[in-house]
Structure 1
Amino acid sequence: RKQFQTLCGCYQQESEWFHSSYIPTFEDHVKCSIISAGTPMLFVGSLVGMGEEATKEAFEWAIGCTDAVKACGEVTRFMDDLASFKHGKNKLDVASSVESYINQYHVTDEVAIATLENLVENAWKTTNQARFDRRALLPLVNRVASITKSMTLLFHDRMDLYTFSRGNKDRIHQQFVQPIPL
């Protein structure tokens, strides 16, 4: 319930930014949008089916929005924003992290995109490092890593297959029906 309240609070904040035509600082945008991307809530919900591993400690770790969970949110948000920036902004969208970065640091699109791509790489490193740092919670960390990996299915190569889902069928077919033999 606490995670849902946090998610709704971030939705409310983004709504206020949108209706006042406010572009938040990059840091404020990231703080809010990694939660509104939904991955922290998704992860907490995914614990429900984990059986014995879904301990009180596990839920506290997840709700605490640890580095690995934040990194998952960063990968999701930045990859989504990079993909949507490529295709143009919907007039009903709050400013993206790309736009917040450009506005705050007065840089070109290319510099902002390169910076966010670097932040995606760093978030992947954080996710992978958590596997070594949190051995006692490895099944949970692996769940976070799996959710993070699934985001590449939707946003790889700056394609937004979440919003424009027609390409999802082909991508899922390639991944699961006709995978590359190992």
Structure 2
Amino acid sequence: MDVKVRTLTKAALLLAIALVFQFVKMGQLITGSGINAVLILAAHICGLPWAIAIGFTTPFMAVVLGVQPPAMIIVVPFIVAGNIIYATAYGLIRKRSKIIGIIVAALIKFGLLYSAVNFILTVKPPIKAALSFPQLITALVGGTLALVIIQVIERIKNHQPT
């Protein structure tokens, strides 16, 4: 199969997984961690353009699917930016250290979303709470989960007969 088609297939599968996390509505810790894991996996496996596409799509789909209430629409551009920054920071730092890439990416995403709801936008307390420290936790948990999956994938690849 052509490399571009394989990459597109992997990216489509990752987007589908992210949408399942949103659609099933398992709470912020599970849903947010799952989507963050998908963003890191997409950056690592498919490349930054695909991770950015997924990071751009998922917040809008959360509104369309009814996962996010209409009051969240005001923060969607910041969530999009946070997702893109998260995937990009990891993508740029991962060759030096995947773990540092996750930590830096999580801190930057958290900083952006925390600043948006505490200093830029006027939002209700539940939205402010959801887009503050839980974002740091879900970014770190999702990144850690992605690193475990990446390690498993790399072990499987290394044990494939040539």
TM-score after normalising by structure 1: 0.38
Greater per-residue helix proportion = 2
Give the TM-score, by structure 2 length: 0.42
> Which has the greater radius of gyration?
1
